[in-house]
Amino acid sequence: MKKMIWLLLPLTLFAAWSFGQDRNSPPVGKPRKPQISDTIKASIYADNWFMLYINGELVAVDSIKFIPHNVVSVDILPSYPMTIAVMARDNADPKTGMEYANTNIGDAGFVLKFGDGTVTNGKWKAKRYSWGPINRDTRNPRVENLPIPEDWYAINFDDSNWDLAKEYPEDVVDPKQSYFEHDFKGAKFIWTQDIALDNTVIFRHVVTSPPDGKTRTDFSNLNNVVPDSPPKRPKR
């Protein structure tokens, strides 16, 4: 009888261990494929247009160059540290810096919020690359430009000598209805020091860890490994 008990004990222990395992989890040391629940929502509003890079990869481009002002919302798979780079443009004639058939000097503004708590504010870096009309001269309007670096969106791009962005209140930017239909709580409108004359601006910011403090799986190296497939539904 004692011999039978000793023979059954290992089987009992193995069954108990197996029952306690998460059958939906990949084997230890093997990554899993990301699910939509691993993503966070990114909401972006620009007056008038933007393109967004995260960790050197193009993530979103505004589909409307001028008006109506729209909010672009996309799901992103975060990886930290997260290098965010944005090119934003106010609508302006490339030769005069004016709009509406060269009858008006427009203003600008950019705001962003991610589902992990990342927001635009005065801690971001900003640099202008096209501005005008110079000296607000609307009779003989002209613009000045700087060449845009090819790697402005790269993780290792050197922005150490850039100025900090300036925050602007809502009543200065005057956002349209689409802005109020989305959650931008805690985010600030930003631009360079001159929100009227600076027409093409690049912003950069590094998020070292999730602002909301949540631990998230890093899937950045997923393309170089063979992940475990998500659990399949049983066949009927």
* CATH number of 188's domain: 2.60.120
> Can you give the pLDDT at residue 31?
74
124 assigned to some structural domain: yes
167 assigned to some structural domain: yes
Phi, psi of 83 (to 5 degrees): -95, 115
- Paired residues of 126 in beta bridges: 163, 203
> Can you give the pLDDT at residue 121?
98
What is the domain range of residue 151? 37-207
Number of domains present in the structure of the chain: 1
Count of CA atoms in the C-beta half-sphere (13 A) of 123: 8
- Of 26-30, 69-73, 193-197, the poorest mean pLDDT is in 26-30
How much of the chain, in percent, has pLDDT values that exceed 70?
A: 81
> Can you give the pLDDT at residue 40?
98
221 falls in which pLDDT band (50, 70, 90)?
confident
180 falls in which pLDDT band (50, 70, 90)?
very high
How much of the chain, in percent, has pLDDT values that exceed 90?
A: 77
Mean pLDDT, range 37-49, rounded to an integer = 96
Phi, psi of 171 (to 5 degrees): -70, -15
> Can you give the pLDDT at residue 131?
98
23 assigned to some structural domain: no
Using the structure block, give the residue that is written with the tokens 């070292």. 208
Q: For the whole model, what pTM was predicted?
A: 0.83
127 assigned to some structural domain: yes
14 assigned to some structural domain: no
Mean pLDDT, range 185-202, rounded to an integer = 98
Mean pLDDT, range 171-188, rounded to an integer = 97
122 assigned to some structural domain: yes
Ranges 16-25, 81-90, 211-220, 222-231, most confident: 81-90
Over the chain, what is the mean pLDDT?
A: 88
228 assigned to some structural domain: no
The answer on pLDDT for 6 being more than 80 is: no
